[in-house]
A = this chain, B = another copy of it.
Amino acid sequence: MRVTQQDIARISEVSQATVSRVLAGDERVDGQIRDRVLAVMNTHNYRPDVRARSLRQRKTHLIGLVIKREVGSLQDDPFFAMLIAEVVDALAGSPWHLCLDIAADTARQHSIYDELLRTRRVDGLILVESEASDERILRLQQDHFPFVLIGNAAEMPELHAIDNDNFRAAEIATSHLLEQGYRRIAFLAGPKTLTVTRDREAGYRNVVPEAIVAYTDFGAHSAREAAAQLLDAYQPDAILAMDDTMAMGVIQAARERILAIPQDLGVVGFNDTPLCDHVEGGLTSVNLQIGNMVQWAIRRLVAVIDDTSVLGGRQAIMGCELMVRGSSVRGKL
């Protein structure tokens, strides 16, 4: 049988309320009694039942991380693994725990919402890669449910959100390719509906002399096909891909055409994942400081949950850094 506060109280010859107070570190309880209760707790290996605590305090201390993607993309794209790892890391040692859900299709998304917040399983949500007009966000808002966005939310300044400066990131990456002497730089973009796609495309267009853009789905496979078409139709001498996984697809397409990297084709990705080191000579990529973003998001989310007054604005933009490796460096021509 499980040992409860009632048991501890009986053995310590105090009331259950006192045990609870000791547990909470209440100053008003007498030192001698406190020590006695603590000792009993210790010998009986007591730990409070989080289920009862959740009911009473109306707080589960669980944070939901909801990713709107195919479950399989978790394997293909290290970005999400990085994200999850950072969340786990940021939560380590805190009283908070992670509840993870991933789904792309709308029906499943809705059931996740039902399960996670309407039943009050989690205290707050972190949303990743939501679209601008995401109907889920409206539901969360009208339910007054605590949540934080990772991704662009410029159109809704009342939301708590953190994002990269994707415009600038694409500018920097494109400029770098120009400096390296590449002239026909194509942008292999993600789905057109995502704000992250639009932001980067805008940054790219702002710098490039002549824009060549192709939209495709995430993943190495789609990227490979799209890159093949791009290469055949436009003969670009460099491709900026939406992420490293797609850049790998680009590299595969280049191999098939016996294009040497970086001589014949410069390639740059995003996210600075471990994939970059698996490319011969290294893959140039934009580091988006996911760790910082996640830390901000969690700090903010916890503050919202605890109803702490939030310092600063509701949105933040994280800087980024171009990690130059072999795939984009051929020296000036």
Contact of B274 with A76 in the complex, beta carbons under 8 Å: yes
CB-defined contacts of A54 to chain B, threshold 8 Å = 51, 54-55
What does the 1/0 interface line of A39-83 toward B look like (CB < 8 Å)?
A: 000000101111110110010101000000001101110101110
With a 10 A CB-CB cut-off, give which of A45, A114, A118, A252 has the most chain B CB atoms.
Answer: A118
**Oligomer copy total:** 2
Interface of chain A: mostly helix, strand, loop or mixed: helix
Question: Which chain A residues numbered 74 to 112 have a C-beta less than 8 Å away from chain B?
Answer: 74-76, 78, 80-82, 84-85, 88-89, 92-93, 97-103, 108, 111
A32 at the interface (CB under 8 A from B): no
Bin the interface of chain A by size.
Answer: 35 or more
- Given A81-B80, A101-B97, A248-B278, A52:B50 Cβ within 8 A: no
Cα distance, A174 to B51, chains bound together (Å): 51
A70, chain B: closest CB distance, angstroms: 9
| Cβ–Cβ < 8 Å partners of A74 in chain B | 81-82, 84-85, 88
A98: which B residues are within 8 A, CB to CB?
A: 99-101
List the B residue with the shortest CB-CB distance to A102: B88
Residues in B whose Cβ lies below 8 Å from that of A279: 278
A283 to chain B, nearest CB (A): 10
- Which of B48, B82, B102, B114 sits near A85, CB closer than 8 Å? B102
**Which residues of chain B come closer than 8 Å to A60, judged between CB atoms?**
51
A52: chain B residues within 8 A (beta carbon): 55
* B71:A75 contact, CB within 8 angstroms: no
B-contact bits for A272-308, CB 8 A (1 contact / 0 none): 0111011110000000000000000000000000000
New A-B contacts (20) at CB < 8 Å, excluding given A97-B121, A98-B100, A99-B100: A45-B118, A47-B118, A49-B120, A51-B55, A51-B120, A51-B121, A52-B55, A62-B99, A72-B85, A75-B82, A75-B274, A76-B274, A88-B102, A92-B108, A97-B115, A100-B100, A248-B277, A248-B278, A252-B277, A278-B279
Sample of 25 A–B contacts (CB below 8 Å): A45-B118, A49-B55, A49-B119, A50-B120, A51-B54, A51-B55, A51-B58, A51-B120, A51-B121, A54-B55, A62-B99, A74-B84, A74-B85, A74-B88, A75-B81, A75-B82, A81-B81, A84-B84, A92-B108, A93-B108, A97-B101, A100-B100, A220-B274, A251-B278, A252-B278
